[in-house]
Structure 1
Amino acid sequence: MSASSDILRTGALAAEGRRRTPHRKKNIASRQIGRHLSATTLLWVFAIGFAFPLLWFVLSSFKPSGDLFSYPLTLFPKQWTLSGYTTAWQSFDFAQYFINTIIVACVTTVLTVAASCASGYALAKYQNRWLKVFFVCILATTMLPTEVMLAPSFLVIRDLGLYNALAGIIVPSILTATGVLMFRSFFLTVPDDLVEAARIDGARELSIFFRIMVPLSRPIMLTLAIFSFQWRWNDYIWPLLVLNDPSKFTLQIGIQSIVGAQNINWSVLLGASVISMIPLVILYLVFQKYVMGANINAGLKD
C-alpha cells in the first residue's frame, strides 16, 4: 500500500509540475517584456528630452525676429523665412570663415590621426623605458585643465612665429592624449603573434605598421577623425587667442562677432549657428556606417 501511495503521490506531483510549467514560462516572458518596455520607454524619454531643444532651436531659426519672443510661444513658425540665413551669410564673411575652419579642421584631423596611430602603436608593442616615460607624460597632460596650458602654449607659438596664422592653431592640436590612449588600447588587443608571424615572414617594422596595423585600426581612425574634426570645428578659445586678422577668423569667432554690445539679432545668430552645424551632421551621417568592429584575429590560425 505504501509503495502504491508513493507512486500515486509522485504522479500527482509530476502532473502538477507540468501544469505549473507553462504558467512559469508565461510569468518569465511577461517579466522580460516588462523590462524591455521599461527600458525602451526610458530611452525614448531621454531621446525626446535631448531632441526637443534641438528641434526648437532649428525651427526658431526660420522665424522672423519679432516672433521669437512673442507670447504664446509656438514650436513651428507662423511665417517661415530664411532672412536669418541670408543675412548671416551676406552680412558677414562666412565663406572665408568656412574656408579657414575647414582648412584647420581637415589638416589637424589628418595629422592627429597619423601621430596618434604611430604613438599608440609604439607604446603598445615596444618595450622601452623612454616610451614609458613618454606615456606617463601624456597621461599627466590629462590631469591639467586646458586653461592652465593656454599661456605656455601661446608663448611657444609666438616664439615660433606662428602668431596670427592658421598654423598656430594646427600645431598645438596635433597630438592629443585621447587619440594616443585610444590607439594604444586598441593595439594592446591585437595579438603579438600576428606581429611575430609578420617578422618571421621577413616583414620590416614599417611594413608591419602600414600594411597590417593601420588597416586593422581603421575603426579607431575613423572614430578619432570624427572627434578631432568636431573638436577643431567647435574650438573657440584657442583661435581667439592666436588670431588677430579678421580674414583668418574661424567660424566660431565669426559667429561670436554677430553678438553686439547693446543688442543681439537672434534670428541672424540662430541662422549662423545652424549653418555651422551642417558640416558636422554631414560628417557623422557619412562616416557612421564605417565605424564598426574589426576582426583582429582574421590573420591567425587556431
Structure 2
Amino acid sequence: MISIKNLRENYDAFICYETTTAQDFAKNLKNSLKKLNCNAFVAAEDIPPGVDERDYRYSVIRNASKFILIMTVLGLESEEVINETKEALICKKEMIPCIYAKVNHNDFKRTFPEVGKKQWIEFQNGSDLANMVTSYIRDSSLLQKKINLERRNFIRASLGTSLTVEPEWSLKKISQYNNIGHIVFKLKNLSDKRIFIYGYNMFRVSPSGEKDVYYYKRICDEQNFNRWVSDLHFKVILYKNDEHIFNWDDVNIMNVYGINEIGKWLAEVRIAYIEEGCNDLFYTIGTAEIEFE
C-alpha cells in the first residue's frame, strides 16, 4: 500500500457530496474555487491510484481547513456523506453547508442536527452554488484580515486612492439656538477589487487651525491617536463602483463635536479600509465644513 503521508496534497477545502446526484456540482465548484487560489478536494478526481480511498479522504478532511457539504436528496441517506460530516465536526472544521433547493429543510436538520444549527447556503443549480460559495469564502477572507489587524497593538495605515469619501453636514451653519444635525459619509469604491471598510476616525479643525481627534467625547492629540473606531455600523464590503452612505442620528453638534468658537470649523474624516488581495490597511480623507455663527 502506498503511503498516504507522502502523497497527500495540501488542500484548503474538502468537498463532501453524494456521488450520483452531486458530483457535477462538486467538480464545477472545485474549478471555481481555483480562481480564488482555494485548492479543493473532490474524491472523483483527487484520490491517487494505489491508496486506501477511505483513509485518504479522511486524511484530507483532518488537514483541510474548510468542509463544504453539498446536500442533495440522496445525500440525506448516504452513509459516507454522514460519516465524513461527523469526522469534520469532530475535527472542528469550518463548515459550509450547501443545500440543494429540493431538499426538505426538516429532513436535513433531523439527519444532521449539529450542521442544521449553522447558517447554510441554499442553491438552485451548479452556477448558483459556485457563485454563492466563492462569494462566502472571499468575504470570509476579508473579514479574517480585519480580525488579524485588530489583534495588533498598534495600527498604522497608508494613504490610498481606491476609495473616495464625501462627508457633509446636514446643517451647514449652527448657532446657540440652531445646532441639531448630523454628519453624512458617502463612500465609493473606485478600484476593480472589493473593499472592506475597517473603521474611521475624525479630526476637528478649529477656526484657528488647531486639530485634534474626536469621536463623541473621546478627544486626544492627533499625534497620539493610533486606533480606528470600528463597530457594527462600519462592517461593510463594497464591490466595484459601489456607493454606500452612513447617516448618523441628529445630535447637538456643539456638544457632541465640541464646536465652541465662532467661525468656520472643519471635520476631517478618515476612512480605513482593506483592499482585496492586499494585507495592508489604507485610508482615504474627506473634509466637511460647518460655520458657527
With normalisation by structure 1, the TM-score equals: 0.21
Question: Where is the strand percentage greater, Structure 1 or Structure 2?
Answer: 2
With normalisation by structure 2, the TM-score equals: 0.22
Question: Where is the helix percentage greater, Structure 1 or Structure 2?
Answer: 1
